[in-house]
A and B are shown apart, each in its own frame.
Chain A
Amino acid sequence: MMMAYPHTRRWTRGVLHLFLILFGLLMLYPIIWMAFSSFKPESEIFSSQLLPTHWMISQYTKGWSALPEINFGTMFRNSIFISFISVIGSLFTSSLTSFAFARLKFPFKKTLFAILMVTMMLPAQVTLIPQYIIFHKLNWINTYYPLTIPSFIGASPFFTFLSIQFIRGIPKDLDEAAKIDGCNMFQIYWRIILPLTKPALVTVSIFSFYWSWNDFFGQLVYLNSPSKYTIALGLQNFLDQQGQSQWGQMFAMSVLSLIPVFIVFLFFQKHLTRGIATSGLKG
Chain B
Amino acid sequence: MATTHTEITIKKSKLRKRVAPKYDKAAALFLLPWLIGLVGLTIGPMIASFYLSFTHFNLLQDPKWAGLSNYKQILTADEYFTTSLRVTAIYVVSSVPFRLAFALFVALLLNRKIKGIGIYRAAYYIPSLMGGSIAISIMWRNIFGETGLVNKALHVFGIHGSAWLGDPHYALYVISLLSVWQFGSTMVIFLAGLQQIPESYYDASAIDGASKLQQFFKITIPMLSPVIFFNLIMAVIEGFMQFTQAFVITNGGPINSTLLFALYLYQKAFTDFQMGYASALAWLLLILVGILTALLFITSKFWVHYESGEE
Which A positions have Cβ atoms within 8 angstroms of B?
1-5, 13, 16-17, 19-20, 24, 27-28, 30-31, 33-34, 46, 48, 92-93, 96-97, 99-100, 104-107, 112, 115, 119, 121-134, 136, 150, 152-155, 160, 184-186, 189, 210, 213-214, 216-217, 220-221, 231-232, 235-236, 239, 244, 247, 250-251, 253-255, 257-258, 261-262, 265, 269, 272-273, 276-278, 280-283
Q: Which of B2-10, B67-75, B138-146, B300-308 contacts A (4 or more CB under 8 A)?
A: B138-146
Asked whether, in the complex, the Cβ of B185 is within 8 Å of the Cβ of A283, the reply is yes
Report the Cα distance A119→B90, complex, angstroms: 26
Determine whether the beta carbon of A189 is less than 8 Å from that of B138.
Answer: no
Specify the chain A residue showing the minimal Cβ separation from B251: A240
Which residue of the partner chain, among A189, A247, A253, contacts B142 with CB atoms under 8 Å?
Answer: A247
**B66 contacts partner chain A, Cβ-Cβ < 8 Å:** no
Residue in B37, B141, B191 whose beta carbon sits within 8 Å of that of A154 in the complex: B37
The 9 closest A-B pairs by CB, nearest first: A153-B37, A254-B135, A277-B192, A130-B45, A106-B27, A130-B48, A100-B30, A185-B26, A154-B34
**A4 to B, closest residue via Cβ:** B113
With the chains together, A1 CA to B190 CA distance in Å? 12
14 A-B pairs (CB sep. < 8 Å) = A24-B120, A28-B123, A31-B130, A96-B33, A97-B31, A123-B289, A126-B283, A185-B24, A254-B138, A258-B130, A261-B129, A272-B125, A273-B122, A276-B185
Q: Is there contact, CB below 8 Å, between A127 and B202?
A: no
Mark out the residues of chain B between 230 and 262 whose CB falls within 8 Å of any chain A CB in the assembled complex: 230-231, 233-234, 237-238, 240-241, 243-244, 247-248, 262
Is chain A's binding surface mostly helix, strand, loop or mixed? helix
Residues of B with C-beta under 8 A to A214: 132-134
A277 touching B188 in the complex, CB below 8 Å, given contacts A125-B282, A126-B285, A247-B142: yes
- Interface bracket on B: 35 or more
B93 proximal to A (CB < 8 A): no
Q: List the B side residues contacting A282 at CB < 8 Å.
A: 128, 185, 234, 238
Considering the chains assembled together, what is the distance between the CA atoms of A281 and B243 in angstroms?
19
A261 touches B26 (CB 8 A): no
The CA of A74 and the CA of B21, in the complex, are separated in Å by 54
Most buried by A among B132, B266, B293: B132
Chain A residues near B109: list those with CB within 8 A. 16, 19-20
Contact B189–A277 (Cβ < 8 Å): yes
A240 to chain B, nearest CB (A): 9
Q: Decide: A3 near B49, CB < 8 A? Known: A31-B126, A127-B42.
A: no
CB of B49 within 8 A of CB of A127, answer: yes
Smallest Cβ-Cβ distance to A13: which chain B residue? B114
- Given the known interface contacts A33-B149, A126-B49, A133-B48, the answer about A280 and B230 at a Cβ–Cβ threshold of 8 Å is yes
- B23 and A93 within 8 A (CB): no
Does B34 lie within 8 Å of A126, measured CB to CB? no
User: Please, how many angstroms separate the alpha-carbon atoms of A17 and B30 in the complex?
Assistant: 50
In the complex, which residues of chain A have a beta carbon less than 8 angstroms from the beta carbon of B49? 126-127, 129-130
Q: How far is the CA of A100 from the CA of B121 in the complex (A)?
A: 35
CB of A210 within 8 A of CB of B185, answer no
- Which of B130, B141, B195 is within 8 Å of A261, CB to CB? B130
Q: Please name the residue on chain A nearest to B219 by beta carbon.
A: A1
Residue of A nearest to B108 (CB): A3
The answer to whether B139 touches A280, judged by C-beta atoms less than 8 angstroms apart, is no
